[in-house]
Amino acid sequence: MTIISELSAASDVPVAEPRKSRKNNPEKTRENILQEAIVEFVQQGLSGARVDAIAERIHTSKRMIYYYFGSKEQLYVEVLEKLYGDIRSTENRLHLAELEPVEAIRRLVEFTFDHHDRNVDFVRIVSIENIHNAEYIKRSDAIKAMNNTILDSLGEILRRGAEEGVFRSGLEPLDVHLLISSFCFYRVSNRHTFGEIFQVDLPDESIKQRHREMICESVLRYLQA
């Protein structure tokens, strides 16, 4: 009787489940490193950025970062690829081919304006890379390939617009891309100097919306001239 009672009592005691080991998630680890690397490169530039500082931010080791990226310079190249990839992949989700040419251009300009305005880190990293004369973009075939997609998309919009008589013929996609990028990039890259010289608050919402519409109309006038 005693033995049976003891066995019965023991069966009522909850058994602790074996502890699950934490699985590594390489993609998540890489993404975390890239996100913190963006912060470090934006704040310190390429020359001043330290891998130790990136490792400290995400509570990992310098060795782990080198395991995934090989060197600080390669990490910087992959930061560039990520930032350019983000804007190009989002553009692909705008479904521009499904819109009328004028509306497609308007949506592209508005998207570019908003993306630059909301992603100051992208603008700063591009500015840093220009200081280095695009030395690291030269090392990336991926950046060149992914950026050709916007020229293909623009070319198709311009072709349709010319056929429908809403855009003039002979427009070059690269010229239009440069025009849109110049307007949208400058107001973010130079917002502090421009704002101080002319005493204007470029991030102010009313000014921002006015500039957004102005850029749309300027680009469309160029296409329709």
Task: Read off the pLDDT of residues 119-145 as tens digits, 9 standing for 90 and up.
Answer: 999 999 999 999 999 999 999 999 999
Domain covering 25-70: architecture: Orthogonal Bundle (1.10)
CA distance 86 to 30: 15
* pLDDT for 74 beyond 90: yes
The yes-or-no verdict on residue 22 having pLDDT over 80 is: no
Q: pLDDT tens digit string along 147-202?
A: 999 999 999 999 999 999 999 999 999 999 999 999 999 999 999 999 999 999 99
User: Given pLDDT bands bounded at 50, 70 and 90, which one contains residue 10?
Assistant: very low
Six-digit token pair at 32?
């975390």
Cβ(185)–Cβ(116) below 8 Å: yes
Q: Please, are residues 191 and 185 in contact by the beta-carbon 8 Å criterion?
A: no
pLDDT beyond 70 at 40:
yes
Predicted confidence at residue 27, as pLDDT, reads 87
- What's residue 23's pLDDT? 53
pTM of this structure: 0.83
- CB hemisphere CA count around 223 (13 angstroms): 32
| Least confident stretch, 85-94, 154-163, 165-174, 214-223 | 85-94
Residue-averaged pLDDT of the chain? 89
Domain 73-223 has CATH 1.10.357.10: yes
Per-residue pLDDT band for 24 (boundaries 50, 70, 90) equals low
Do residues 213 and 190 lie in contact, with contact meaning Cβ atoms separated by under 8 Å? Answer: no
Q: Between the CA atoms of 67, 137, 116 and 191, what dihedral angle is there, to the nearest 10 degrees?
A: 110
Domain range list for the chain: 25-70, 73-223
